[in-house]
Amino acid sequence: MSRVPRLHIQGDFASGDVTLDADTAHRLRNVLRLAAGDAVQIFNAASGEFAATLIELSKSRGVARLDARLREPGRDTGPWLVAAAIKRGPLDTLVEKAVELGVGEIHPIVTERTNVERVNVARLDAIAVSAAEQCERIDPPAIAAPVTLREKLANWPRDRRILLCAEAGMSIPLAQALAGLDFAAPWAIMVGPEGGFAPAELEMLAAHPLVTGVGLGPTILRADTAALAALAAFQFASPRGRISPRAL
C-alpha cells in the first residue's frame, strides 16, 4: 500500500544528512521509483529510526535529511533459531518468516543427516534486511556462519537455554514448556534436518543441561514448518506477542 519505504542504512546517525551509497540510490530510483522530495524512513538497530526526506538522488548517490526520530535504538531479544541447513528455497522463506516472527539470531548448523552442501550467508543477510524493512523491525537479525552441531554446542553461551523440537522420545508438549517459561532469560529454538537428528546427536542433546525437548503435536512437521511454528508459538506466548504494531 502507500506506506513510506523503510530503508535499513548502516551507520551512526542522529540528525542532519545521511549519505546513501550507489546501490541504495539505484534501488530508490529504479525499484521504488522515488525522487528528491519524497519521504523515506531510515533505520538501524544502533541509531534508531527516523522520518527523512530525500534531498538529492542521482545515479551514483543520494542524500536524506533526517526530520524526526520515530524510534529509539534497540534490538529485539527474541529467541535464536538454530536450524540444520535446508535447501535454498525453503531456507530463504524460513529466514524471511523467522525475521517477521521476532527471531534474535539465526544459526545454521550442519548435522550428520544434513545433505545441503553450502549456505550463502551474504544472501541470507540480504533477505533478513529486506524482511526487517518490510515487517517494521528495527534490527535485521545476524546470520551466523554455519558450523557443525558439535562445534555449535562447544561454543554455546552458558546461559542460553534450548528448546529442542524433537520428533519423538523424551519431550513435553511445546505449550506446556511455554506456559512456565522465563521469557527474561535467553532462549534458542533448535530444529534438525529433514531426516531428523542421528541417534548419537540426540543422545548428546538429551544429555545437555541446557536442552529441553518439546513436542509439536501429532503430525510429522517438515524442518522449516517446525521452526516457524515453534517461533510463532514462542512469540505469542511471550510479552512481545502482546504488543501491537505501532500506528503508522
Q: Rule CB under 8 A: which residues touch its own copies?
A: 1, 93, 96-97, 100-102, 134-137, 167-168, 171, 173-176, 178, 195-196, 215-222, 225, 228-230, 232-233, 235-237, 240-247
At closest approach, how far in Å is the CB of 49 from its own copies?
13
Task: Report DSSP letters for 32-66, one per residue.
Answer: S---TT-EEEEEETTTEEEEEEEEEE-SS-EEEEE
Q: How far is the CB of 100 from its own copies (least distance, A)?
A: 5
- Nearer Cβ to its own copies (15/115): 115
Task: Find the shortest distance in angstroms from Cβ 111 to its own copies.
Answer: 13
Nearest CA among 43, 48, 40, 32 for reference residue 8:
43
Q: Which is nearer to its own copies, 1 or 184 (CB)?
A: 1
Question: Alpha-carbon dihedral of residues 204, 209, 210, 212, nearest 10 degrees?
Answer: 70
Question: Which of 14/32 has CB closer to its own copies?
Answer: 32
- In the bound state with its own copies, the residue whose beta carbon lies nearer, of 20 and 114, is 114
Q: To the nearest whole angstrom, how small is the minimum distance from the Cβ of residue 171 to its own copies? A: 8
- The three three-digit cell numbers of residue 20, written as one number: 546513501
Cell numbers placing 87 = 535447501
Beta-carbon contacts of residue 9 (< 8 Å; ≥ 6 apart) = 18, 20, 24, 42, 43, 44
